[in-house]
Amino acid sequence: METELERPLYLASASPRRIELVRQLGLHVQVCPADVDESAEGNPGKRVLELARRKALHVARQHQRGLVLGADTLVSIGRRVLGKPRDEEQAFEMLRALCGHWHRVYTGVCLADCQDGRVACAVESAMVHMLHLSDEEIFSYIRSGEPMDKAGAYGIQGLGGSIVDCIRGDYYAVMGLPLAKTRQLLGLMGVSVL
């Protein structure tokens, strides 16, 4: 059952998995995707925090009251940072780099209060090990369409879950919205979900 808050909760994302995860917390959310510049500097943790903050504040400026939840996810393998692939060729390159190796997934979360401009932000990460795949298996996964809108070119909650054999850390951070951190941030903004 979704709870209607005293003030609206906006999600600065059209991601179906983030919408579902907010609903998993029992909250009703209004979807307001943020169209922002997604370039950022620094290490992956800093980048996802900056992008989550940028998204939340962009949507907060459009509303008089309520809270805005922004989030962003990046994948890092060694010093290489992977966002969403721009095409199938780049998706193949990303998956080929990840196959048989550990990588880290970072998700930044930010809540912004539309009325007073307060923000509360956090980052969560997890280590993920992907199975070794043949080129044909990678191409087959790409043909499913799933990799094209996901950081690192895979989605743990879909078919991509079958190519991951181990996770160390927050599963929901890999999905794109760490629930424990999000609940804590909501608490800082006066919203209890328990």
- Each residue's pLDDT, cut to its tens digit, for the chain (194 residues) gives 445 567 899 999 988 999 999 999 999 999 999 988 877 788 999 999 999 999 999 999 999 999 999 999 999 999 899 999 999 999 999 999 999 999 999 999 999 999 998 999 999 999 999 999 999 999 999 999 999 989 999 999 899 999 999 999 999 999 999 999 999 999 999 898 88
Residue 194 lies in a domain: no
Q: Is residue 66 part of a domain?
A: yes
Determine, yes or no, domain membership for 1: no
Domain that holds residue 127: 9-188
Domain total in the chain: 1
pLDDT at position 185: 96
pLDDT, residue 2, reads 46
Query: Is there a catalytic annotation at residue 72?
Result: yes
Q: Has residue 39 been placed in a domain?
A: yes
Q: Are 108 and 167 in contact (CB under 8 A)?
A: no
Nearest to residue 178, comparing CAs of 125, 103, 100?
125
Is residue 193 included in any domain, yes or no?
no
* Among 55, 58, 91, 59, residue whose Cα is nearest residue 75: 91
32: in domain: yes
What's the pLDDT at 143?
A: 96
This prediction has a pTM of 0.92
Residue 175 lies inside a defined structural domain of this protein:
yes
The enclosing domain of 178 has a CATH number of 3.90.950.10
User: Residues 72, 116, 135, 165: which is the catalytic one?
Assistant: 72
Long-range CB pairs of 51-56, under 8 A, 24+ apart, other chains included: 51/108, 52/108, 52/109, 52/110, 52/121, 53/108, 53/110, 53/112, 53/119, 53/121, 55/12, 55/13, 55/110, 56/12, 56/110, 56/111, 56/112, 56/119
Whether residue 30 lies inside any domain: the answer is: yes
